[in-house]
Each structure stands twice: as C-alpha cells, then as structure tokens.
Amino acid sequence: MRAVIVEQPGGPEALTLVERETPEPGPGEVRVDLAAGGINFIDVYQRSGRYPLPLPFVGGNEGSGTVSAVGEGVEDVQLGDRVAWAMTPGSGYAEQVLVPAARVVPVPDGMDLELGAAVMLQGMTAHYLVNSTFEAKEGQTAVVTAAAGGVGLLLCQMLRDKGVRVIGTVGNREKVELAKEAGADEVVLYREVDLAEEVQRLTTGRACTWSTTAWARTPSTQGSRCCVRGG
C-alpha cells in the first residue's frame, strides 16, 4: 500500500511517496481503506517542523473511508462501516490507515465520503463556536471573518439556520458570492474599508453580538470593536 511520508522537515518537496506493508490494527484500533484525506494548515506546520513529530511520519490528520479490519476489544465499529475522523496524526496520506476506534464517527448514509472527510475538523470548529463558545440565537448579529474559507462557509450556514444575521468579510470580490450563497446577509471587502466602521454602518450603530477572527493578519481588536459590550 502507498503512503506519503515525511522523513525530514521541509517544504512540499519533503513529501515522499513510498510503498509500505498493509498495517494491522492493534487493540482498540481499526484499519480504514481511505476514501479521502483532509488537508489543513496543521499538516503544513507538521511537515515543516513547526509542530514537530517523530520522524518519519505519514502526513495528514483527518480522513474518511471504509473499515477493513478491527483490532482486539473494538465493539462499536464493524467491518464495512463508513467512518471519518480528525486530529489523528499519521492518518491522512495513505491508502490504508490505523485509527483509534474511539476517534472515528459514522458517516451517514447518503453523505459522500469526501464530504465526510472535509467537514470534520472545520465542522467541529464551527459547531463549538456557535453552540459552546458563545451560543448563537435568533435575532443576533455576527461578523464572520474569512467567510469564504472552510470554517467561514460552515459558520455562515450554521448561523443562518439559527436565525442570526451574518456579516461576512472576504478579501476579494470573487469570494463575495461564495459567502452569500452560504448564508451571509452582507459581505464586506475588509481591505477596502474599516471593518468596525462598516459594521457600525450596517447595523445603524448597534454593532454585532459576536465576531470571529479567522486569520492572523487581522488584529483581534477589529473584531472586538465590532461587538456590543459583553459580545
């Protein structure tokens, strides 16, 4: 079976395609025939050595596929189950991967496995932001930065479903329609305006209930300037 490994930290050239033996699951593990592997920024940090891992390692932390073997003691996962997982180093860039059974979740019938892989990390992030970090409720207003990114698009959808007014921010005009299709009521080109002032204008001075900051180049103070007291 083929796998993409990192033998020494570096750029994309550090990724090497190799042939390996088919892995056998140990106690509490399942082997999955990979259908899709998710790619996230943490993969780049691990490959470059910014987040060091023992070398060599198989790239990737997230994926989906069909269970082809189960280890001793595994009871809740069966052969043939369609599953997905996230935040499991060494489980993304290979044709067959080992994953702790406790980390996999079932992919619903009717959902494409590629979608199942893509939604795990970003979906969990968006879910806890709107349900746990600050519970989103109907009638609120939220500013979603990077609204056309992976987490941003999911946030727009979740907030729309909760009845929240969504003000999205994007970096260029090509991304405006993406954010609107996902549920943003208004979209701000953050490079062309002062974000806090534009939010004040759109809300007629009432500001927003909460905001996210999704990329490092935007100071977190911009998000706080958009919010009402206690937001």
Q: Which residues contact 205 (CB under 8 A, 6 or more apart)?
A: none
Q: Which residues contact 91 (CB under 8 A, 6 or more apart)?
A: 58, 60, 61, 62, 63, 85, 97, 98, 99
Q: Which helix (H) or strand (E) holds 144?
A: strand 141-144
pLDDT in tens, the chain (231 residues): 999 999 999 999 999 999 999 999 999 999 999 999 998 889 999 999 999 999 999 999 999 999 999 999 999 999 999 999 999 999 999 999 999 999 999 999 999 999 999 999 999 999 999 999 888 999 999 999 899 999 999 999 999 999 999 999 999 999 999 999 999 999 999 889 888 888 888 887 665 565 665 544 444 455 555 555 544
Closest CA to 30 of 61, 60, 75: 75
Q: How many CB atoms lie within 10 A of CB 83?
A: 22
Q: Which domains does the chain have, with CATH numbers?
A: 2-111 (3.90.180.10), 134-226 (3.40.50.720)
How far is 209 from 200, CA to CA, in rounded Å?
12
pLDDT of 219: 46
Residue 169 DSSP SS3: strand
Q: How far is CA 148 from CA 136, 151, 159, 168, 227, in A?
A: 20, 8, 14, 8, 21
Determine the residue type at 27.
P
pLDDT of 220: 47
Instruction: Report residue 223 as tokens.
Output: 């998000």
pLDDT of 222: 57
Q: Which residues contact 29 (CB under 8 A, 6 or more apart)?
A: 70, 71, 74, 98, 99, 100, 101
pLDDT of 211: 60
Sheet holding 105-106, edge to edge: 96-100, 29-37, 63-70, 82-85, 105-106
HSE on the CB side for 214, CA within 13 Å? Answer: 25
Q: Please provide the DSSP assignment of 62-84 as one string.
A: -EEEEEEEE-TT--S--TT-EEE
